[in-house]
Amino acid sequence: MSPAICSGTHLFLTGITGSGPDGAMSADPVAQFRAVFEKAAGVLDAAGLTLDALVEMTSYHIGLRDHFEAFDTLRREVLSEPYPAWTAVEVAGLRRPGAVVEVRFIAQTERAL
């Protein structure tokens, strides 16, 4: 699976869960959230972009109400104004066991890649 695909001047990132570099899923939701944004930054960096290029994100959460404030706090910490458009969705499950969030991002490029 491709970590991202470019279409015109948009880069569509594959859904990202919060596993660490070794593939292990932390039991700590905040560690998972941080890992999601770190992975997204790595994909964007490979395309010559930063998190500032993000224009849209959709987050899928197990237990959304339990950790929404923590996710939102970290989101505001790692992203800059104007923040990307964002939709947060409560789901019954995710493909990766132990994952509490999966996030899909769309970035704007200045030119077609």
**Extents of the domains making up the chain:** 4-108
Give pLDDT < 70 ranges for the chain: 112-113
* Alpha-carbon distances of 76 from 13, 51, 96, rounded to whole Å: 20, 12, 25
**43-46: Cβ within 8 A, 24+ apart:** 43/3, 43/4, 43/13, 43/16, 44/11, 44/13, 44/107, 46/3
pLDDT for res 109 = 92
| Stretch (H or E) spanning 56 | strand 54-61
Does this model's pTM top 0.85? My answer is yes
SS3 (DSSP) at 2: coil
Phi, psi (degrees; rounded to nearest 5) at 21: -60, -30
- Sole residue written with tokens 């919060």: 18
Across-strand partners of 56?
A: 85, 106
Domain 4-108: give its CATH superfamily: RutC-like (3.30.1330.40)
So what's the pLDDT on residue 1? 81
